[in-house]
Amino acid sequence: MSEPNDVTPCDAAEISTWDDTADVVVVGFGAAGSAAAFTAVQAGVQVLVTERTGGPGGAAALAEGIVYLGGGTPIQEACGFPDSLDDMYRYMMAACGPDPDEVKIARYCAESLGHFDWLVDRGVPFDPTFCADTSMAPTGTEGLVYSGGEDAYPFNEIARPAPRGHLAKTKRSTGWLLMQHLAAAASGAGAAVSLDTRVDRLVVDDGRVVGVQGQRFGETVSLRARRGVVLTAGGFIFNDDMLRQHCPPLVRGTFKVGTEGDDGRGIRMAQAIGASVRNMYAGEVSLPITPPRTLIHGILVNGQGQRFINEDTYMGRVGQSSLYGQDGEVYLVVDEASYEVNWMGLAATWVCETPAQLESEMGLPAGSLEATIDLYNRHAATGEDPLFHKGPAWVRPLVPPIGAIDLRIGPAPYAPFTLGGLETTVEGEVLNLTGEAIPGLFAAGRTTSGVCAFGYASGLSIGDSTMFGRFAGASAAAG
Amino acid sequence: MSEPNDVTPCDAAEISTWDDTADVVVVGFGAAGSAAAFTAVQAGVQVLVTERTGGPGGAAALAEGIVYLGGGTPIQEACGFPDSLDDMYRYMMAACGPDPDEVKIARYCAESLGHFDWLVDRGVPFDPTFCADTSMAPTGTEGLVYSGGEDAYPFNEIARPAPRGHLAKTKRSTGWLLMQHLAAAASGAGAAVSLDTRVDRLVVDDGRVVGVQGQRFGETVSLRARRGVVLTAGGFIFNDDMLRQHCPPLVRGTFKVGTEGDDGRGIRMAQAIGASVRNMYAGEVSLPITPPRTLIHGILVNGQGQRFINEDTYMGRVGQSSLYGQDGEVYLVVDEASYEVNWMGLAATWVCETPAQLESEMGLPAGSLEATIDLYNRHAATGEDPLFHKGPAWVRPLVPPIGAIDLRIGPAPYAPFTLGGLETTVEGEVLNLTGEAIPGLFAAGRTTSGVCAFGYASGLSIGDSTMFGRFAGASAAAG
């Protein structure tokens, strides 16, 4: 038995007997894997899904389960939000950058309405109701939210805003419900599933991937794939060595989003045969401040008492900016009229009669927060925020007494996951260092770099996992 | 003939005749390559150096040529700067982070004094004189400068400051002089050199690297390496596709530091056989503000009129922070008493009677720069800077009339090069995705990730290129 960390590829000539054979082997039974498996079966081939845990679901089943879709879905229309594919495309090109994969985004938008139907056809229920109070999963069963700061600067000047975060109809755990349907669809269609099977390496025959090798209940198993292997094995947020190697800021995340299976093995086993990666530095970081939205009347400041972002944008952007840009030294300053304990129980650590007292108690440099509040209030008096362009609805002068919620790492949860991974075509082919497709190897989901280069909106991960999972499954079935 | 971009490895079985054979083949005749070649020859083996241009030198010959060394070199001692290896180590662990390679830094420090002697033995002349006016190459022949902000916050509180930037004795072009000596040393010792030879791929025999294949005057050549191949082929600052893939901010650099050979081919050809990379997001960015140092009395502000760094730190840190953190929207605000046109001719674009007028002319939000200057002056009156800890020597109130030098991308040059690359041991072995040394493959210099994870000091690149180049050459010679 090889070392747990070993991803060295295996030569097909070394395998005397295959323990199992299918046309397509899908590695990982999460969002991307279930979509790939279903689609491959529909294409008429024999599919084997391997899953290292005891059941399907992956990270998506633990997630809020938002799916980012637009261009005028039935849910958007029922809720009275007109949208166009062009607006969705312009938003995504701006929000997913810098330098996002233009081809993937174009395809993602073009297929958006069809993908909504595909999810509905798999039995996923969406409620045609809108929740205005959150950019995350609502406490009710509403099916639509703003999930990417579309209605805030700068995106509201780039594309007509529309909410595109779609949620399966259930009170919380919409990710779990989504995965119930998608996994059942794959199994129901006829995909075989091998649970408790951890794939460790690819099997290669003269440059072509012809199977995988791994561990099942302590035994080494070799699984042959006549047409193709699809890697849908998650990202690498649970591999601290890889984080240090590629994106040190994420090591400091306190609530990692994913499963322990997100150890990057899928990425590494493909790299080991010369696959290319991209955007390995990128990570989404949720810093859950709202609900309630009234807190957005406050201002976010860093360790120098300076503002650094428009507070009304997507909380995932706030989290990225706070962790990557401010080293996680961040506070929300709010006055009495706008203060509530937030949904996670984050409450004001300091409350004072004046900004000068507050900055002193917080240990900020003398005069720093006072100067920030003076400047903010000066413009807020006319409803403006020329520094960061927070929307007029959220801009009003801060009136003492004021307090601050401690949003530093530790007092507040920083919830990251990785966005970088294998370089793939829109059809799910994995590219090598020369930019050519590696024969027999396909991938989707967080094992790949998807529509997001660095920027993110809630729902884009499950969105591109399921959509490009479908395409990768179809490509593998075609061989 | 293959595509120029093709780095697909070649199987040794496909090669009928080798055009040339040596014990060690060194790819690239720059700083790392010349050190590797010299050391391998000294170890008693036959060495062939390939160089894609018409002569030796690489990026180092175009660079300022600073070599970062400390712990009490003869130059430091002659100039009256006591230093210890422990201080050097603590400085580097703080300045090269986050998460720098502790093993490499420890070895780099331990070998620092020996490496100084090695350079002197190769004929490199160092003048035992200190230049206080710059953190770059002096206009005179001084041999020592502060090159990494050692005497500024936060490093002056972490380790006893000492200047460690050593320069070969010549008026400018110290990099050229350094490379003259190092290339002559390698050739003089007996290394064969094949110029105009661009190596495209590695030749592999059952998992072991046994040679390289490339182009020489339009002909494909296969070069056999009995003991090892050493990749010293530079970084990837001249490959925009790789920059977009791994570190989008650097695409916007306006004065790329290196040669056109820094196209990442050395990194990619190793990745194509399963080599691991790290810190591909990292880049050094020089933003040459000083000399004259009097400009440091000014304040650097961003597009919101806010300060973001202590102005007395290393200009490379300022450049990194400006490009990666502020999107290159940066200005230096300075008063009459401290103003001079800088060494590159950068002059004030705006000069006004009051901060309010200045911010208006610069197009900054009303009141923003005024608030920043008020707060700065309030503390500067007592020689303090509690926000960013600029040293007392550079802190004094800004007195109108004041002006601003436009340091945005375009008006000011942003000069980047890449720091990420192959993952190697201190002995120069290239590691695969499982963390094992790839037999027959070694690397050094900017083809690798060296002592710097992200942070940088001038002289660390030529420093680790030449030192770890030596070790890689010795390892390859040992086979």
Which of B250, B225, B226, B283 is closest to B456 using CA atoms? B283
Residues 234-273 of chain B with CB under 8 A from chain A are: 244-249, 251, 268-269, 271-273
**Smallest Cα distance from B131 to chain A, Å:** 33
**pLDDT at B3 > cutoff 70:** no
**pLDDT at B5 > cutoff 70:** yes
Q: Which chain B residues have a beta carbon less than 8 Å from that of A436?
A: 8
pLDDT band of A257, cuts 50, 70, 90: very high
B97 HSE (CA, 13 A, CB side): 14
Residue bearing tokens 């495209």: B200
Q: Which chain B residues have a beta carbon less than 8 Å from that of A7?
A: 433-434
pTM: 0.96
- Judged by average pLDDT, the poorest of B3-12, B294-303, B435-444 is B3-12
What number of C-beta contacts closer than 8 Å exist between A and B? 126
Are B108 and B164 a contacting pair, CB within 8 Å?
A: no
Percentages helix, strand, coil for chain A, rounded to the nearest 5?
35, 20, 45
Per-residue pLDDT of A229-245, as tens digits, reads: 999 999 999 999 999 99
Q: How confident is the model over B224-232, as a mean pLDDT? A: 98
Superfamily of domain A1-287+414-479: FAD/NAD(P)-binding domain (3.50.50.60)
Question: Which H, E and C letters describe B453-473, residue by residue?
Answer: CCCCCCCHHHHHHHHHHHHHH
Q: How confident is the model over B439-456, as a mean pLDDT? A: 98
**Smallest Cα distance from B121 to chain A, Å:** 36
pLDDT at A1: 39
| Type and span of the H or E element at B42 | helix B31-42
Cβ distance of B272 and A432 shorter than 8 Å = yes
Sequence letter at residue A97: G
CA pair distance A411, A349, nearest whole angstrom: 10
Q: What is chain B's length?
A: 479
Are B155 and B91 a contacting pair, CB within 8 Å?
A: yes
pLDDT band of A209, cuts 50, 70, 90: very high
The overall average pLDDT reported for chain B is 96
Can you read off the two tokens belonging to residue B281? 């997001």
How many Cβ atoms are within 10 Å of B120's Cβ, its own excluded?
A: 15
Which of A419, A52, A29, A36 is closest to A200 using CA atoms? A52
Cβ distance of A375 and B367 shorter than 8 Å = yes
Q: Which chain B residues have a beta carbon less than 8 Å from that of A325?
A: 325
Which of A248, A237, A202 is closest to A443 using CA atoms? A202
CA pair distance A46, B250, nearest whole angstrom: 46
Per-residue pLDDT of B356-409, as tens digits, reads: 999 999 999 999 999 999 999 999 999 999 999 999 999 999 999 999 999 999
Task: Say whether residue B453 is in contact with chain A using an 8 A CB cutoff.
Answer: yes
Q: Comparing A71 with B479, which gets the higher pLDDT? A: A71
- ipTM of predicted complex: 0.94
pLDDT at A3: 58
- For A405, left (φ over 0), alpha (ψ -120 to 50), or beta? beta
CA pair distance A154, A165, nearest whole angstrom: 19
pLDDT at B322: 98
Task: Say whether residue B439 is in contact with chain A using an 8 A CB cutoff.
Answer: no
- Kindly state the percentage of chain B with pLDDT values over 90: 93
Task: Say whether residue A9 is in contact with chain B using an 8 A CB cutoff.
Answer: yes
Residue A104's SS3 state is helix
| Type and span of the H or E element at A431 | strand A429-431
pLDDT at A26: 98
Q: Is the dihedral of CA A203, A209, A214, A219 positive or negative?
A: negative
The overall average pLDDT reported for chain A is 96
CA pair distance A27, A346, nearest whole angstrom: 39
- Substitution target from A433, A436, A441 for chain B, most B beta carbons within 10 A: A433
Q: How confident is the model over A445-469, as a mean pLDDT? A: 98
Q: Which chain B residues have a beta carbon less than 8 Å from that of A324?
A: none
Which of A191, A184, A172 is closest to A57 using CA atoms? A184
Q: How confident is the model over B221-238, as a mean pLDDT? A: 98
Per-residue pLDDT of A134-181, as tens digits, reads: 777 788 899 999 999 999 999 999 999 999 999 998 876 789 999 999
CA pair distance B398, B376, nearest whole angstrom: 8
CA pair distance B428, B448, nearest whole angstrom: 9
In Å, what is the CA distance from B428 to each residue of A139, B83, B104, B191, B439? 55, 28, 10, 19, 12
CA pair distance A396, B1, nearest whole angstrom: 67
Q: How confident is the model over B167-188, as a mean pLDDT? A: 91
Q: Which chain B residues have a beta carbon less than 8 Å from that of A279?
A: 245-246
pLDDT at A383: 96
pLDDT at A140: 86
Domain boundaries, chain B: 1-284+416-479, 288-406
Can you read off the two tokens belonging to residue B402? 């004041």
> What's the longest Cα–Cα distance across chain A?
78
Q: Which chain A residues have a beta carbon less than 8 Å from that of B436?
A: 8
CA pair distance B53, B30, nearest whole angstrom: 11
Residue bearing tokens 């397509």: A24
Task: Say whether residue A391 is in contact with chain B using an 8 A CB cutoff.
Answer: no
Are A48 and A24 a contacting pair, CB within 8 Å?
A: yes
Per-residue pLDDT of B23-66, as tens digits, reads: 999 999 999 999 999 999 999 999 999 999 999 999 999 888 99
Reply yes or no on domain B1-284+416-479 having CATH 3.40.50.300.
Answer: no
Sequence letter at residue A52: R
Residues 275-294 of chain B with CB under 8 A from chain A are: 276, 278-281
Per-residue pLDDT of B338-352, as tens digits, reads: 999 998 899 999 999
DSSP state of B451: S
Which of B361, B291, B285 is closest to B325 using CA atoms? B285
DSSP conformation letters of A34-55: HHHHHHHHHTT--EEEE-SSSS
Per-residue pLDDT of B129-162, as tens digits, reads: 999 887 777 888 999 999 999 999 999 999 999 9
Helices (H), A200-354: 240-246, 265-271, 315-320, 326
Q: How confident is the model over B1-29, as a mean pLDDT? A: 91
In Å, what is the CA distance from A373 to each residue of A367, A379, A451, B164? 10, 10, 38, 43
Q: Which CATH architecture has domain B288-406?
A: Alpha-Beta Complex (3.90)
Per-residue pLDDT of A3-23, as tens digits, reads: 568 999 999 999 999 999 999
**pLDDT at A197 > cutoff 90:** yes
In Å, what is the CA distance from A11 to each residue of A69, A211, A274, B83? 42, 10, 15, 54
- Substitution target from B250, B320, B375 for chain A, most A beta carbons within 10 A: B375
Cβ distance of A5 and B434 shorter than 8 Å = yes
Peptide bond preceding A9 in cis form (omega within 30 of 0)? no
Which of A185, A101, A223 is closest to A473 using CA atoms? A185
Per-residue pLDDT of A62-92, as tens digits, reads: 888 999 999 999 999 999 999 999 999 999 9
pLDDT at A172: 67
Residues 148-207 of chain A with CB under 8 A from chain B are: none
